[in-house]
Structure 1
Amino acid sequence: MQPQLIIFDCDGVLVDSEIIAARVEAAMISEAGFAITPEEMMERYSGLTTKDILFRIEAESQVPFQASLLDRMKETLDRKLASDVRAIDGAAAAVAAVQGPYCICSNSALSRIEAMLTRTRMLPLFEGRIFSARDTPSQRTKPAPDVFLHAAQAMSKDPAATFVIEDSVHGVMGAKAAGMRVIGFTGASHSYPGHADRLTEAGAETVINRWVDFTATVAALSEWSEAV
């Protein structure tokens, strides 16, 4: 059975933004008193909001951050992403080839998503189909399932008949908690050794690292669901 809805994550799936975020956040967090590398940021915190990252690091390290750090990080990152982010090779073509309803579900703010899609010339593909976790009734971000369920409800689709493509463990966990099927993606610059294994362990049914494989993967998983 073909999916009723396909949901794309944005950061690290459509746009190569996670590497930029990791570098900016690692530099500013290290300067604030907790030494961390971009590689550690990508492996441990990819998919989380900047606010959640700071909260987790504070709790784990007992290093207090100034209240202004969050705002400064957001401003710096928004500026850097708007000027430097690039589309992941093949993403636009893969989206354009989708037969049926699709949308974006992201932890990023709507303004940031739109800025990145504008920069990468993909906004026309997604206008009216963008769901930010921050704009849901609960405002709970991934790994909570809320944004996925909100999108399915808004588009009148069955979560169980929805496929999600995600690059982060937190995103995979949220989609699985929503009762959706998940394809992992490791084709962005922030991918790390063991990335695919971690996505699979979190619940992804399969993992791809090239967009050219996406259509065939969806078709294969659809056939598999009919056979079981």
Structure 2
Amino acid sequence: MANDRLVIFDCDGVLVDSEPLAAIAYERAYARNGLTIKPEVVAHGVGMKQADIIVKIHELTGQLLPDTAAGDIWLETKDLFTEQLKPTPGLPEFLAALKTARCVASSSSVERIIHSLAVTGLARYFGDAIFSSSMVARGKPAPDIFLHAARQMGAEPSHCVVIEDSRYGVQGAVAAGMTAIGYTGGGHTFAAHRAELEAAGANVVCRSWDEIEAVLRERGFI
């Protein structure tokens, strides 16, 4: 099993087009608590776990969400995801054809990952192969979540490819000794997105699942 190839997917912004909705959820959760932030501020924490995003927002704006109000973020997020969340364009067809072992390694909570996959119809492609940063000591950009996922799936890090949309995720994949593919096909992409992922160490950056399929074939993962 250790020689098998493994494709590791980030969830938010890769499997599901969630980042624009998540930014709105943060704005609403902060407003619930008398705090004002703009959705674009949340973009600075894309790829981080929630606790680290809250710290980042505090650093950038001076607005600190009380620990007792952290649950408000999930309440707002869950409502938006249930109503509006979609897979990224072309992903269901890509997953339906993918025969390589795969798993999810996300900074989000297990509850959020499961909900995201359920409402978008993607859960059947991953089963129980879901890993959250809540399972490890350090979140991205540390390599912990990716190394944990590889161990649980029985794959060597050098035989793993990680698909990520954030610089923190790419940095974590590189630190784990894995091939990093940057993805810029989500609704939160921006002009310097490709350059940012390349600077973080992505081996290649793709804007569609067709491009990713071609890269995986070229590198022997399909």
Fold match (TM-score > 0.5):
yes
Counterparts of 1:32 and 1:57, CA distance in 2: 14
Counterparts of 1:173 and 1:160, CA distance in 2: 15
Deviations for 1:68-96, whole angstroms, at most 9, x for unmatched residues? Answer: 33121222112221332111121122122
After TM superposition, give the deviation of residue 19 of structure 1 in Å. Answer: 0.9
- Corresponding residue number in structure 1 for 2:70: 70
Q: TM-score, normalised by structure 1?
A: 0.87
Secondary structure (helix, strand or coil) at the match of 2:180 reads: strand
- Corresponding residue number in structure 1 for 2:180: 182
Counterparts of 1:65 and 1:152, CA distance in 2: 34
CA contact (8 A) 1:94 1:214 kept: no
- Corresponding residue number in structure 1 for 2:215: 217
CA contact (8 A) 1:33 1:63 kept: no
Greater shift, 204-213 or 194-203, is seen at 204-213
Counterparts of 1:206 and 1:55, CA distance in 2: 30
Pairs aligned (count): 219
After TM superposition, give the deviation of residue 213 of structure 1 in Å. Answer: 1.7
After TM superposition, give the deviation of residue 174 of structure 1 in Å. Answer: 0.9
Q: 1:221 to 1:30 in 2, by over 3 A?
A: farther
| Aligned-partner residue type, residue 8 of structure 2 | I
CA contact (8 A) 1:3 1:222 kept: no
CA RMSD of aligned residues (A): 2.2
| Aligned-partner residue type, residue 42 of structure 2 | M
Secondary structure (helix, strand or coil) at the match of 1:199 reads: helix
Secondary structure (helix, strand or coil) at the match of 1:15 reads: coil
Unaligned runs of 5+ in 1: 224-228
Deviations for 1:52-74, whole angstroms, at most 9, x for unmatched residues? Answer: 11112224444443333312122
After TM superposition, give the deviation of residue 123 of structure 1 in Å. Answer: 0.6
CA contact (8 A) 1:34 1:63 kept: yes
Secondary structure (helix, strand or coil) at the match of 1:13 reads: coil
Q: 1:83 to 1:29 in 2, by over 3 A?
A: same
Q: 1:112 to 1:63 in 2, by over 3 A?
A: closer
| Aligned-partner residue type, residue 194 of structure 1 | A
Counterparts of 2:201 and 2:4, CA distance in 1: 18
Counterparts of 1:3 and 1:203, CA distance in 2: 24
CA contact (8 A) 2:194 2:205 kept: yes
| Aligned-partner residue type, residue 180 of structure 2 | V
Q: 1:51 to 1:3 in 2, by over 3 A?
A: same
What are the within-5 Å matches in structure 2 for residues 75-154 of structure 1? 75-136=75-136, 138=137, 140-154=138-152
Deviations for 1:15-49, whole angstroms, at most 9, x for unmatched residues? Answer: 1111100122134446757654323422x111112
| Aligned-partner residue type, residue 169 of structure 1 | R
Secondary structure (helix, strand or coil) at the match of 1:6 reads: strand
Q: 1:64 to 1:37 in 2, by over 3 A?
A: closer
- The counterpart of 1:157, out of the listed 141, 152, 155, is 155
- Corresponding residue number in structure 2 for 1:226: none
CA contact (8 A) 2:50 2:108 kept: no
Counterparts of 1:127 and 1:16, CA distance in 2: 20
After TM superposition, give the deviation of residue 120 of structure 1 in Å. Answer: 0.9
- Corresponding residue number in structure 2 for 1:15: 16
| Identity rate, percent | 35
Secondary structure (helix, strand or coil) at the match of 1:16 reads: coil
Counterparts of 2:40 and 2:142, CA distance in 1: 24
Q: 1:172 to 1:33 in 2, by over 3 A?
A: farther
CA contact (8 A) 1:9 1:106 kept: yes
Unaligned runs of 5+ in 2: none
Secondary structure (helix, strand or coil) at the match of 1:172 reads: helix
